Amino acid sequence: MNKSGRAAALATGVICAVQFVLQLDFSIVNVALNTIQRELSMAPAELQWIVTGYALTFGSLLLAGGRLADLLGRRRLLVIGLVLFAVASLGCGLARWPIMLIVSRMVQGAAAALASPAALSLLTSASPEGHARNRALALWQASTAGGATTGIIAGGLLTQYLGWRAVFLVNPPLIAVMLAFVPRLPAGAAAGGGKIGIRGAAL
């Protein structure tokens, strides 16, 4: 494999790892919900927001995140999203009250909405059009499905042996490893100008 091929393979691996972790957090918390409810004395309506809060901010801010990636640069926004995701994960893992956990989960979702479109843009720009890009996108889809599936198993194991807080505290070390490789990804020049659809995202 030549130098450009190795660079593309590294970019694909790092970016797919990012997507894997983001999708992991959709499902990893589900198994821990009963334990969280018991230890934090949460009402059923509050408990649902642990899942819904993440999905809501993630889904509604994806388009705004994609636009920000164009304006600020893809690699820069990926770093911002990952750092914010790690901080929010730490907030979830250290939560002492239901509102702290719910707000941290919503921040997690917002951070994922920044990182995910930036990562996908970097993936397509790092892979030449044709077979290489098709393969990279197939791996991206596989990491999405794999993260969602693995979350159920990992959530059960972490909750059983380390407690529900480990479901969230596992993220910062993983993200630290990813950030170590981010400087080797293509920068993705900032486009500058234009607007972000804040009103649409809020609606």
Question: What does the pLDDT look like over 83-141, one tens digit per residue?
Answer: 999 999 999 999 999 999 999 999 999 999 999 999 998 888 877 788 888 898 999 99
DSSP 165: T
HSE value, Cβ hemisphere, 13 Å, CA-based, for 75: 16
Question: Over the stretch 171-197, which tens digit does the pLDDT of each residue have?
Answer: 999 999 999 998 888 776 665 555 666
Q: What is the pLDDT of residue 56?
A: 93
Question: Over the stretch 68-93, which tens digit does the pLDDT of each residue have?
Answer: 988 888 999 999 999 999 999 999 99
Give CA–CA dist 121/184, Å, rounded: 15
pTM > 0.85: yes
